[in-house]
Every structure is written in C-alpha cells, then in structure tokens.
C-alpha cells in the first residue's frame, strides 16, 4: 500500500493515464502501443531491452534503437532499412535486422561492392552458375559470397532465380548456421504473402533442430498474422507439429475460432496426425469422412457408424500386415482389445475424445444409453 502511495506521488497523472491505456489496449501493433504510451521512438527507446519483440505492421522509419537489445526481434510487414533506422551499438543477433545489416556491412567494402555490381550485371543463367561455383562449402570467402548471393536474392523478381539461389544458400549452410537463420527471418518479414517462399522457409527451419524449438516457434508464429490464409495454415501446421500440449492448447483458441474452415481443419488434421491414425478416424464425420465441425456432437447413429468404420479399418490393416504391404500395426495399436468388445470400445472412445479436449478441442460426449 505504501508503494502504491509512493508511485501515486512520483508518477504524473498523464503518465499513469498512458500506462492504463497501454494495459487496456487490445492492439498488437508495437507502433500503436508507443503512441498510447506517449513515447517518441526517435528518443525514448534508446538502450531499451526489446528482446523477442514482435514488430509486425510497424513502420520503423526514424526509430532510434541505439544500444537496444533486439535479439530475437521478429515480425511481418515491418518497414525498415539500414538507412532509415538507427541501430548503433544495438544487439541484433537472431533478429529480423541481422540479415540486411550484414548485407549493408559487406557492401561498404569497395572490393565487395565492385564484385556485387559485376555479378548483378550478369544474366540470370550466369548468376546461377556463379552461385554453383562460389556458394558452397569449402570455397574461399564463402561468408562474403553468401551475403552477395542473398543480396541478389532480394533484388531479383525472378522466382526461378530466387529458388536456385536459396537452394545453394541452404546447401552451403552448416548446422545451426546463424546466417541462414537470419535470412529466414528476413524472408518471413518481407515475403509473408509469398506462399512458395514461405513454404520453403518453414521447411528449412523445420529441418534444423540446432536453433532450438523455442526460437523456431517464435519465428514462424508471426505468420499467424499473415493476410493469406494458406500461409496462416502453414504456420498452424508447423506450430502444432512442434508445440507442447500447453502451446497447442493456447493455439487452439486462435485456430478453432477462425471463420475459414481450412484453418480449423489445419489445426485438427495436424493434431490428430501427431496423436495417431485412430484419432484421425474419430475426428472425422463417420458419414462423409470430412473433419467434423468443432461444434457438432456425435449422435447415437453416427457413433455406431464410427465403430463400424473402426472395425473395417482394423480388418484392412490386418490384411495389409499379412500380405506385407504394412509393417507395423497402427489402428490396433490405438484401440487394442477394444476392437472386439463393445463396452471397451465406448470407454476407449471416451478416453480419446477426452485426450483431444486436453489439446483444446471441444469435448465430444458419448451419447447416453449406448
């Protein structure tokens, strides 16, 4: 209570009002929150701890991040350039700033700038040949060459050339390569509406476990705010595939409330795929095999059809095991002895529906009297 009285004394009413407005705001825009807090980004952010900050949809022109800790900063549709943002003495490792600053730094060298001008003047076929020869492990000046290749990647609008350059950049990377990670963050920021590039980027991130799952989930998580539902679905699939139960449950509130059925289905399909084929069976309508709408229950008639479908899938699996087209059981592994016992089956289904509910799915109840 004394602390409250002390703060009431030393904090101006205008400042307290600004704090209240920030706390009450539902905005996710960093720039909008700064305005509510009555902070001027040209002066008031210097030497701040802004680790892991989400800068989505922020125009950073004129921002002064002198001495700031921006490690892990990320976002999409963030407008900035090394010429318009002050990053003097800032920590930017693993942030959306690191990649472009690396290009900017390399091109300050006259020799590198001359080489960049020469390569930029080549035809796209010659640029691909240059990348084949110079962007691979073991060549001299690989780090510089990779920066030059990423600059070519940014400057070209030819999707084939972009794909080729990205391929050789990826091949030249070593495990836990910070340079390639920084580039992926920059692609996510600058190309959040390019399905092909974002798909490739997520695949590259997913294939590397050396960055740590926390960083990868944060990098991909900003794509949930993409304007393209196809890209949002990609992000949902990735996050469900690598998330903890608590993280998936939190994501379910976002995914299952989406108006677009494709986003709800992306969440459900990835979750049941992670839990097992038996869960895929029970998450679908037993009548048309589409994923059941999250608000629909399960009638007694549908439950009977579901049990019949499970038994049919079990018989098909047993036949596949006998003829060698399937090596390991999947359906029988999920349902066990319940396949041959109606009461056990009802209990098993109830357990499985409860398991789905643990991950944020609506709880499906077994019809009374079954």
pTM: 0.84
**Separation of alpha carbons 235 and 22, rounded Å:** 28
Per residue in 185-203, pLDDT (tens digit) is 999 999 998 898 899 888 8
Per residue in 66-119, pLDDT (tens digit) is 999 999 999 999 999 999 999 999 999 999 999 999 999 999 999 999 999 999
* Helices within 135-244 (DSSP H only): 142-155, 159-172, 178-190, 195-207, 213-221, 229-242
Average pLDDT across the chain, whole number: 87
Segments making up each domain of the chain, as ranges: 18-224, 280-358
Q: Distances from the Cα of 286 to the Cαs of 45, 277, 291, 330, in angstroms?
A: 57, 14, 9, 19
**Percent of residues in the chain assigned helix, strand, coil, to nearest 5:** 60, 5, 35
Query: Is pLDDT of 22 > 70?
Result: no
**Separation of alpha carbons 127 and 19, rounded Å:** 53
**Separation of alpha carbons 61 and 80, rounded Å:** 6
Residues 6+ apart with CB under 8 A from 7: none
């Amino acid at each position: 209570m004394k602390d409250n009285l002390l703060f009431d004394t030393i904090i101006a009413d205008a400042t307290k009002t600004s704090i209240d407005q920030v706390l009450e705001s539902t905005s996710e825009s960093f720039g909008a929150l700064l305005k509510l807090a009555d902070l001027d980004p040209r002066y008031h952010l210097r030497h701040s701890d802004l680790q892991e900050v989400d800068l989505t949809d922020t125009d950073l022109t004129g921002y002064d991040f002198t001495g700031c800790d921006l490690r892990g900063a990320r976002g999409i549709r963030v407008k900035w350039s090394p010429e318009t943002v002050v990053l003097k003495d800032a920590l930017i490792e693993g942030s959306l700033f690191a990649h472009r600053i690396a290009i900017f730094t390399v091109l300050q060298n006259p020799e590198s700038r001359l080489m960049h001008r020469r390569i930029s003047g080549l035809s796209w076929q010659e640029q691909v040949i240059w990348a084949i020869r110079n962007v691979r492990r073991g060549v001299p000046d690989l780090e510089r060459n990779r920066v030059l290749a990423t600059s070519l990647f940014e400057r070209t609008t030819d999707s084939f050339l972009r794909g080729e350059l990205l391929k050789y950049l990826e091949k030249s990377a070593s495990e836990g390569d910070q340079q390639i990670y920084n580039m992926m963050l920059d692609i996510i920021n600058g190309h959040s509406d390019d399905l092909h590039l974002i798909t490739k980027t997520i695949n590259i991130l997913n294939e590397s476990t050396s960055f740590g799952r926390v960083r990868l989930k944060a990098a991909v998580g900003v794509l949930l705010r993409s304007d393209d539902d196809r890209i949002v679905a990609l992000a949902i699939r990735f996050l469900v595939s690598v998330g903890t139960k608590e993280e998936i449950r939190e994501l379910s509130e976002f995914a299952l409330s989406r108006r677009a059925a494709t986003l709800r289905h992306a969440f459900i399909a990835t979750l049941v795929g992670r839990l097992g084929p038996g869960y895929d069976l029970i998450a679908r309508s037993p009548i048309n095999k589409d994923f059941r709408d999250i608000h629909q229950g399960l009638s007694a008639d549908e439950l009977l059809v579901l049990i019949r479908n499970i038994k049919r899938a079990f018989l098909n699996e047993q036949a596949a095991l006998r003829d060698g087209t399937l090596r390991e059981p999947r359906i029988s592994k999920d349902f066990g002895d319940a396949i041959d016992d109606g009461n056990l089956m009802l209990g098993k289904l109830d357990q499985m529906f409860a398991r789905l509910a643990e991950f944020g799915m609506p709880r499906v109840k077994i019809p009374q009297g079954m």
